[in-house]
Amino acid sequence: MSYSKDMDRPYTVVVEGNIGSGKSTFLNHFQENPSISVLSEPVELWRNCGGTNLFALLYEDPKRWSFTFQSYVLLTMIRQHSLQTNTSIKVMERSIYSVRYCFVDNMQSEGIMPSLSVEVLDEYFNWVKNKPEAKVDLVIYLRTSPDVVYERMLQRNRDEEKTVSLEYLTKLHDVHEKWLYYKSAYSCPAPILIVDANLDKTSIVDEYIKSESVIMNKLSISS
């Protein structure tokens, strides 16, 4: 391990994982730390774009709304990456990278999003990923099994997720695994710290503490 030497911007951590993998719970662990700015996924913006719930429309008619929704998600995540903070550490829930490498990739492979729409999103993505604001120092992958996240999703009972199937979560799991675990699809913007997020709430606290040590010391780990 070595210290990150680029201090012109916050040491930036992105927390990735499937729906229901515990990203919000993980971020809550750091909310009270005055040295860290925590940026949750901007779900409320997706629920209210000019008064319309794009999040709900996506699940109601994916083929009709996939490009519109992912365009807006990409924009809101670009804003998260670019947001100035008064702390030296920034922890984000998801990133522009999982937008493209996981969700858009899955929509394309499922035939939900046509290739031309993907090409347009790629133009945005490839332009912004080379900007200094998009630089990431650490990726934390909350690794879970599809069965576990499916049960968690049912328990939290979000209206927009009521039609989400175990099959869909399995496909999202697979694209995350290829990107962050097997590293067989796409490159990763930073070293990856894998957390076993299948653990129960008591046991996983120890994993949070281990991650906190890496984050607070601004360490870079071998990828």
In the block, tokens 């503490």 appear at 209
Within 49-200, residue ranges assigned H as helices are 54-60, 62-82, 96-98, 105-109, 115-128, 146-156, 166-176
Q: Which residues are catalytic?
A: 93
Q: What token pair was written down for 14?
A: 């992105």
Which pLDDT belongs to residue 221?
A: 56
Per the document, the length of the chain is 223
Q: Report the C-alpha gap between 10 and 88 in whole angstroms.
A: 5
Which pLDDT belongs to residue 65?
A: 98
Q: Is the pTM of this model over 0.95?
A: no
Q: Domain boundaries in the chain?
A: 2-220
Q: Are strands 138-143 and 192-196 parallel, antiparallel or unpaired?
A: parallel
In the block, tokens 């067989």 appear at 184
In the block, tokens 């901007």 appear at 42
β-sheet bridge partners, residue 196: 143
Which pLDDT belongs to residue 201?
A: 76
**Among 163, 141, 144, residue whose Cα is nearest residue 154:** 163
Q: Are 89 and 11 in contact (CB under 8 A)?
A: yes
Q: Which CATH architecture fits 2-220?
A: 3-Layer(aba) Sandwich (3.40)
Query: Tens of pLDDT along the chain (223 residues)?
Result: 333 444 578 999 999 999 999 998 899 989 988 999 999 999 999 999 999 999 999 999 999 999 999 999 999 999 999 998 999 999 999 999 999 999 999 999 999 999 999 999 999 999 999 999 999 999 999 999 999 999 999 988 888 888 889 999 999 999 999 999 999 999 999 999 999 999 987 788 888 888 888 888 875 555 5
**Among 97, 90, 51, 38, residue whose Cα is nearest residue 73:** 97
